[in-house]
Amino acid sequence: MNRALKKIIFTTVTLSVLCYIFLNDLLQGDWSVLSASWDNLETFWNESLWPPEWSMLEARKYPECGSSIGFFCSKAYIGMLETLKMAFVATIIGFTIAIFLSPFAAKNLTSAWVYIPMRIILAATRSLPSIIWAIIFVVIVGLGPLAGVLAMTFYTVGYLGKLQYEEMEGVQNSPLEAARAMGLSHPEIVANVVIPESSNNLLSQLLFMFEYNVRHGSILGLVGAGGIGFYLQFYLNFLMYKHVMAFIVVILVVVIIIDLMSMYIRSFVTEDGDVKRPSWSTIFLSPNQAKKYHHGKSEEE
Partner 1 sequence: MSSSELILSVENLTVGYNEELISKINLEINTGDVIAVVGPSGIGKTTLLRTIAGLVKPISGDIFCKAPKRGGIGYIPQKLGLVRHTSVYHNVDLGARSGSRFFSEPKTWFKRRSERVTTAVERMGLSDKMNEPVRRLSGGQQRRVATARTLAQRPKLILADEFLSELDEDNISIVLDAVKEYMAASESAMIIVEHNIQRATEISTRLLQIKNGELVEYNPSEMKFDLDGGLI
Of the candidate residues 199, 242, 248, 263, the single one contacting partner 1 (CB under 8 A) = 199
- By CB under 8 A, is residue 268 in contact with partner 1? no
Min dist. Cβ of residue 167 to partner 1 (A): 13
- By CB under 8 A, is residue 184 in contact with partner 1? yes
- By CB under 8 A, is residue 111 in contact with partner 1? no
Of the candidate residues 181, 237, 296, 299, the single one contacting partner 1 (CB under 8 A) = 181
- By CB under 8 A, is residue 206 in contact with partner 1? no
> Which segment (57-65, 158-166, 197-205, 227-235) binds partner 1 by CB under 8 A?
197-205
Of the candidate residues 11, 42, 100, 188, the single one contacting partner 1 (CB under 8 A) = 188
Of the candidate residues 16, 48, 192, 298, the single one contacting partner 1 (CB under 8 A) = 192
Per-residue DSSP letters for the chain?
--HHHHHHHHHHHHHHHHHHHHHHHHTTT-THHHHHHHHHHHHHIIIIISS--GGGGSB-SSSPP-SSSGGGGBHHHHHHHHHHHHHHHHHHHHHHHHHHHGGGT-TTTS-HHHHHHHHHHHHHHHHS-HHHHHHHHHHHH-SSHHHHHHHHHHHHHHHHHHHHHHHHHTS-HHHHHHHHHHT--HHHHIIIIIHHHTHHHHHHHHHHHHHHHHHHHHHHGGGT--STHHHHHHHHHTT-HHHHHHHHHHHHHHHHHHHHHHHHHHTTTSSGGGT-PPPTTTTTS-HHHHHHHHHHHHHH-
Closer to partner 1 at the Cβ: 55 or 200? 200
Of the candidate residues 57, 249, 269, 283, the single one contacting partner 1 (CB under 8 A) = 269
- By CB under 8 A, is residue 200 in contact with partner 1? yes
Of the candidate residues 28, 111, 174, 286, the single one contacting partner 1 (CB under 8 A) = 174
Min dist. Cβ of residue 272 to partner 1 (A): 12
> Which segment (92-100, 135-143, 178-186, 226-234) binds partner 1 by CB under 8 A?
178-186
**Applying CB under 8 A, what is the total number of residues that bind partner 1?**
22
Question: What's the one-letter identity of residue 97?
Answer: I
Report the C-alpha gap between 265 and 259 in whole angstroms.
Answer: 10
- By CB under 8 A, is residue 179 in contact with partner 1? yes
The site for partner 1 (CB under 8 A) is made up of 172, 174-184, 188, 192-193, 196-197, 199-200, 269, 271, 274
